[in-house]
């Protein structure tokens, strides 16, 4: 049940399977293992069945169907789907049902995809392990004692475990790529502005981007083609035309120039097994005719600190709307001020409060220049360094994360240790670039990811470089062996 979208679409088109059969298979998979993995905050199979049947009916009649017709998918629970709860894995939005669809959801449904559930995440996408969910932990399908990564951990676990053909996630500082790396699948963060953010619950608005978590690079190309494109409802969304991202995948990459930033490669936090797999990946690329050169990107040393000023600043402003008045949790009190205070105190978890406090501090009149303004200046330096590098190179490659999936509970009491797991992914968001994580190895049965970052709006070139590696290696073919929930455990 972990076949990629490209194969399943063909099977649907040729009549080898039906949307209904595919949905039933997905449902029994979910019934079998979800009690162990816990990828979903809620599932929606009963609404999905009539849609699948309708799709089969149209296909039989020979009606033209969208490219995702009958494909069961999952959506991170910070992306609005009309009528389904959108909780952001937070108490404050626990009972919120959006009255509208996110633009990406409109596009996926127009292409025929069928949403089977909303996936667990770190509360408001703040975290790297999905342990900040207010509801429960999601487990890594490769080892149930380990985290799936985060914040899109539910989406990554669902795809890796065969509970959805693909899923959408959001990436503010690595939340698509790092869980993809931990769960052994493909995760693509598109260029900032390539995909509409309308209907994505805002965290850091200048950093957030929606993207796919898939089982293959080609699948990522197919899904990006569906969700990308201009949206008048998001003023930061680009008007550039959307190319066919699958068209050039097969082209060879001889002469392609790859750069490895020393600052990240030499980071002492990088585990030996990760470094080894990464070195192997460099050799694979060289064998494919690409060149790999180590370069220095000094500003990267400051990227993490800069992110933890800018992202909380934006979050503190974005989260002001949860006041117990307009929507979400309300804890009654005698005065308006006490009601707002009680609602936010009860509704937000510890990490979210930490971010709000940091955010209002760095934006306060006395500290704005010292922190927020400085961080914005460093952000410009990071962007400049990327621009310089892209004058000479086609892509920048690093491991996606310094480690493999860590144990549940290992870092949850140490925020700084948790923040360090995004050291490789965060610089990319600062510059708004497209970046992909693909499987490049295993250590003690746990997947390792390779991160490739490309030029702005050149996802097609980035996907080609990723595809060449995938075709030359076998890592993406391995599947986790998830034990079923036994009858006695149910």
Give the interface with ligand GLN as residue ranges (CB under 6 A).
125-128, 151, 171-175, 203, 311, 422
Q: Which is nearer to ligand GLN, 217 or 430 (CB)?
A: 430
Question: Is 317 one of the catalytic residues?
Answer: no
Cα distances (Å, whole numbers) of residue 374 to 305, 356, 380: 11, 19, 10
CB of 95 to ligand GLN, least distance (A): 23
How far is 84 from 1, CA to CA, in rounded Å?
A: 25
How far is 277 from 373, CA to CA, in rounded Å?
A: 38
Q: What is the bridge-based pairing of β-strands 166-170 and 210-214?
A: antiparallel
Q: Which is nearer to ligand GLN, 55 or 126 (CB)?
A: 126
Cα distances (Å, whole numbers) of residue 79 to 7, 84, 97, 131: 27, 10, 11, 19
Q: Which is nearer to ligand GLN, 32 or 130 (CB)?
A: 130
Q: Which of 18, 170, 175, 277 is catalytic?
A: 175
Strands (E), 186-225: 186-189, 210-214
Element containing residue 43 per DSSP (H, E): strand 40-43
CB of 309 to ligand GLN, least distance (A): 12
Q: Which of 151, 170, 343, 421 is catalytic?
A: 151
Q: What is the bridge-based pairing of β-strands 257-261 and 395-399?
A: parallel
Question: Is 151 one of the catalytic residues?
Answer: yes
Short-list 209, 212, 251, 142, CA closest to 430: 209
CB of 172 to ligand GLN, least distance (A): 4
Residues 25, 70: contact at Cβ < 8 Å? no
Q: Which is nearer to ligand GLN, 365 or 416 (CB)?
A: 416
Q: Which is nearer to ligand GLN, 48 or 313 (CB)?
A: 313
Question: Is 76 one of the catalytic residues?
Answer: yes
Residues 477, 3: contact at Cβ < 8 Å? no
Q: Which of 9, 18, 76, 128 is catalytic?
A: 76
CB of 433 to ligand GLN, least distance (A): 14
Short-list 44, 122, 45, 27, CA closest to 81: 44
Q: Which is nearer to ligand GLN, 203 or 475 (CB)?
A: 203
CB of 203 to ligand GLN, least distance (A): 6
CB of 328 to ligand GLN, least distance (A): 20
Helix (H, G, I), strand (E, B) or coil at 187: strand
Residues 125, 355: contact at Cβ < 8 Å? no
Q: Which residues are catalytic?
A: 76, 151, 175
């Amino acid at each position: 049940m972990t076949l990629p979208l490209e194969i399943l679409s063909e099977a649907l088109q040729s009549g080898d399977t039906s949307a209904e059969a595919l949905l039933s298979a997905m449902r029994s998979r979910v019934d079998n293992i979800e009690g162990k993995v816990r990828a979903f905050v809620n599932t929606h199979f009963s609404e999905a069945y009539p849609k699948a049947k309708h799709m089969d009916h149209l296909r039989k009649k020979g009606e033209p169907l969208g490219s995702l017709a009958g494909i069961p998918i999952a959506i991170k629970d910070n992306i609005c789907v009309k009528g389904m709860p959108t909780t952001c894995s937070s108490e404050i939005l626990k009972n919120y049902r959006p009255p509208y669809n996110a633009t990406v959801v409109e596009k996926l449904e127009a292409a025929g995809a069928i949403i089977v559930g909303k996936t667990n995440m770190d509360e408001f996408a703040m975290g790297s392990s999905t342990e900040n969910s207010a509801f429960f932990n999601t487990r890594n399908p490769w080892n149930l004692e380990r985290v799936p990564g985060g914040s899109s951990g539910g989406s990554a676990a669902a795809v890796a475990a065969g509970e959805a053909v693909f899923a959408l996630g959001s990436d503010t500082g690595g939340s698509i790529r790092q869980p993809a790396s931990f769960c052994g699948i493909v995760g693509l963060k598109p260029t900032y502005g390539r995909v509409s953010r309308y209907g994505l619950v805002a965290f850091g608005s200048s950093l957030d981007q929606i993207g796919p978590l898939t089982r293959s690079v080609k699948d990522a190309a197919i899904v990006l083609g569906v969700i990308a494109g201009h949206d008048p409802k998001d003023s930061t969304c680009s008007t550039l035309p959307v190319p066919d991202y699958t068209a050039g995948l097969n082209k060879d990459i001889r002469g392609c120039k790859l750069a490895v930033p020393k600052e990240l490669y030499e980071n002492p936090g990088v585990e030996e097994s990760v470094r080894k797999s990464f070195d192997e990946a460099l050799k694979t690329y060289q064998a494919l005719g690409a060149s790999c050169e180590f370069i220095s990107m000094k500003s990267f040393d400051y990227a993490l600190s800069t992110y933890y000023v800018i992202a909380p600043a934006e979050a503190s402003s974005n989260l002001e709307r949860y006041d117990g008045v307009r929507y979400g949790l309300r804890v009654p009190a005698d005065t308006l001020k006490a009601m707002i205070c009680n609602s936010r105190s009860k509704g937000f978890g510890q990490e979210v409060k930490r971010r709000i406090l940091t955010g209002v501090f760095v934006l306060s009149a006395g500290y704005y220049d010292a922190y927020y303004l400085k961080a914005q200046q460093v952000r410009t330096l990071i962007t400049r360094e990327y621009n310089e590098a892209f004058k000479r190179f086609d892509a920048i490659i690093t491991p996606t994360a310094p480690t493999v999936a860590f144990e549940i509970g290992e870092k949850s009491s140490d925020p700084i240790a948790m923040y360090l797991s995004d050291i490789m992914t965060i610089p990319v968001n600062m510059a708004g670039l497209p970046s992909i994580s693909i499987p490049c190895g295993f250590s003690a049965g746990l997947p390792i990811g390779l991160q490739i970052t490309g030029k702005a709006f050149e996802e097609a070139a980035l996907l080609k470089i990723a595809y060449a590696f995938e075709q030359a290696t076998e890592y993406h073919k391995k599947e986790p062996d998830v034990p079923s929930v036994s009858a006695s455990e149910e």
